[in-house]
Amino acid sequence: MDQIFERLERLVKAWTNSGAAPSAGRGWGGSGASRGDSDLDAAMAELDDFLDTSKTETERRESEERRRAEERRAQEARARTRDGGYRTQGTQEPSTKSVVEDAYRYLGLPPYAAFADVKTAYKKLLFKHHPDRNSGTPDQMKRATETSSRINAAYQIIEAYEESRAPR
């Protein structure tokens, strides 16, 4: 019966890898590689856990709880990245244009500046406000962490905007 599941697993992996040979190692795409689709990654991780006969029931349950917690954190991170920390409770969601313009301004640039300038400003600001450089007191560390996460969010917004404008 185990042979059937192993063959089924190889078949599913080969099919989902779009014709690529199935990986020799266990896990999705070998050694924990992600395919970009969190739902598919979670389903493959669940299938791997189910098929792994070396785990006890307690280990399976703990693994499932960890996977769910990671999925929750990923969803929260996607939600934070989507709104970039610009949304406040009780206000209307800002338009894409205003969010992008705010992101440029947060990096100290005029709206729709060249992406090379965006990268330069991002690196300079992150260098200045990185938590490792500002860890004198816990309060400084907290402020630096918040600032660097806002800088990262602004950069991700601009990067996504630039990618959406690129010809396909």
DSSP secondary structure of 37-105: -HHHHHHHHHHHHHH-TTS-HHHHHHHHHHHHHHHHHHHHHHHHHHHTT---TTSPPPPHHHHHHHHHH
Top-level CATH class of 93-165?
mainly alpha
Q: Which segments of the chain have a pLDDT < 50? A: 19-31, 86-90
DSSP type of residue 134:
S
* pLDDT on residue 118: 93
Average pLDDT, the chain: 77
Query: Domain coordinates of the chain in residue numbers?
Result: 2-81, 93-165
* pLDDT on residue 21: 43
* pLDDT on residue 70: 81
